[in-house]
Amino acid sequence: MLPSEKFHDECGVVAIYSNPEAEKLAYLGLHALQHRGQESAGIVTSNGMTLNMHKAMGLVADIFTEEELAKLHGTLAIGHTRYSTAGDSSLLNAQPIMVQSNKGMMALAHNGNLVNASELRGRMESQGSIFQTTSDTEIIVHLIAFSKEQTLPEAMADALRRVEGAFSLVMISPDRIFAARDPRGFRPLAMGRISAQPGQKQDTIVFASETCAFDLIGATYEREVKPGELIVVGPEGVTSRFYATPMAQSSCIFEHVYFSRPDSRVFGRAVQESRENLGCQLAREAPADADIVVPVPDSGVTAAMGYAAESGIPLRFGLIRNHYVGRTFIEPRQAVRDFGVKLKLNPVRSLLEGKRVVLIDDSIVRGTTSRKIVRMIRSAGAKEVHMRISCPPTVSPCFYGVDTPSKKELIAANNTVEQIREFIGADSLSYLSLEGMKKACGDGEKTTYCTACYTGKYPTNWVDVEEILPVTAVKS
């Protein structure tokens, strides 16, 4: 979809301990996590003595050539692929962030957003700290260096107790890998293992934002890193400690609705199962008298499968996505209506003509893209278009690592469902209920979810009041 009309997760992280090809496994892990961020990527490796880093703007496969990976040869590695939420989109803010500090050489990569970043940064700058980036990740590095604790694990635990918000992070020192999650468990982080091959002394321990990275590198999923847990993997083996007292769990439900790949296991639950359940529940709550179910690719595909199965209405891929659209393109001199959407999606007229269509997507953000898609389906000859959304209306921005617009830009924050239906031009519009979404994603089974973007009720006290003030309705 168009960059401005879909939510973006901030990033994905991966870490490898004890493997002769750690840099290649980190590269492959990032490749599997590319959907979590397409602006920049970086890898830091250790050969046991020193750290080496390469990071750049762009996609993983373009950044890490064989020549670049050869320079990174090591047995430990961490990697990061980024979509900016806090901080500008520039190489300066690309991660991992590597420093030589009073605690030794280290590099850190982080998924999430610190809601008390501005306060901490201001305090440290007043004490003489000099920041090289505008990323909130650098704040954690400074806190580790500031800590009076003598060892790196203790200093990291001390630093993590001082930050508020969402973070799943990995860190590397010359001989250790660290992995941690915030006490509320906002963002996912899984731990896996690759059995030692002949000639290797020990198993390879791996961490990644999603388990789809494990599948590509041949790792076996072991468990989630627990909220508030700090895991250190070093010569002494795997050690675990809880650096903070347990808090009410607030795992991001949008990981299951949209962000994570369907083939991943996130928060201990299969994403494919959640998405199909969302579609089934949507069909129960919002049935439609129609001929075909059509997903908006790729975000609506799995939910559409569930909707079709539950409703008995056949699933048809009436919209085809072009997967080869680059970041830049040349528009024709003669203006083409809805050109941006047409670059990425094209209707299949033979499937849509004369049909009553149930159109399935995961969200409506500003409404402009949904409006163009509805118009496109009508122009292909559809008799009726019934829009169904596999989550509740998004009424509030996220402060925990998701690039959501401010409240004034969210169409559902300022309009009724009927007003939105009128704006996008659908014959009917229905959203999944909050309870239906939580039920479909197994809320309360393995985790409880943060639903602040649907309710405006935030699990932390630190929010930007200006961002959540409502405004007047949008005009069509």
Mean local confidence (pLDDT), 430-450:
95
Closest CA to 89 of 184, 11, 180: 11
Cα dihedral across residues 128, 131, 135, 138: positive or negative? negative
* pLDDT tens per residue across span 152-184: 999 999 999 999 999 999 999 999 999 999 999
CA distance 391 to 432: 5
Q: pLDDT tier at 6 (50, 70, 90 boundaries)?
A: low
Supply the pLDDT for residue 135.
Answer: 80
* pLDDT tens per residue across span 334-381: 667 777 788 889 999 999 999 999 999 999 999 999 999 999 999 999
Helix axes 368-379, 417-424, angle to 10 degrees: 50
* pLDDT tens per residue across span 13-38: 999 999 999 999 999 999 999 999 98
CA distance 235 to 226: 22
* pLDDT tens per residue across span 204-236: 999 999 999 999 999 999 999 999 999 999 999
Q: pLDDT tier at 129 (50, 70, 90 boundaries)?
A: confident
CA 152 to chain centre: 28
Closest CA to 98 of 71, 129, 133, 146: 133
Q: pLDDT tier at 331 (50, 70, 90 boundaries)?
A: low
Supply the pLDDT for residue 137.
Answer: 84
Percent of the chain with pLDDT strictly greater than 70: 91
Supply the pLDDT for residue 473.
Answer: 41
Mean pLDDT of the chain, nearest integer: 90
Supply the pLDDT for residue 400.
Answer: 87
Looking only at the bridges linking them, the beta strands covering 51-57 and 40-46 are antiparallel
Residue 404, pLDDT > 80, answer no
Cα dihedral across residues 63, 264, 387, 314: positive or negative? positive
Residue 3, pLDDT > 60, answer no
What is the residue whose two structure tokens read 């004034």? Answer: 408
Is 11 among the residues known to form the active site?
yes
Of 443 and 327, more confident = 443
Catalytic residue among 11, 252, 391, 450: 11
Supply the pLDDT for residue 466.
Answer: 54
pTM of the model: 0.90
Q: pLDDT tier at 128 (50, 70, 90 boundaries)?
A: confident
- Phi, psi angle pair for 126, to nearest 5°: -70, -20
Give CB contacts under 8 A, 24+ apart, made by 268-273: 268/223, 268/224, 268/446, 268/447, 269/441, 269/442, 269/445, 269/446, 269/447, 272/302
* pLDDT tens per residue across span 411-439: 999 999 999 999 999 999 999 999 999 99
Mean local confidence (pLDDT), 92-96:
87
Residue 324, pLDDT > 90, answer no
Supply the pLDDT for residue 115.
Answer: 85
Residue 471, pLDDT > 50, answer no
Q: pLDDT tier at 113 (50, 70, 90 boundaries)?
A: confident
Closest CA to 460 of 189, 154, 257, 247: 247
Cβ of 346: how many Cβ atoms within 10 Å? Answer: 14
Supply the pLDDT for residue 383.
Answer: 98
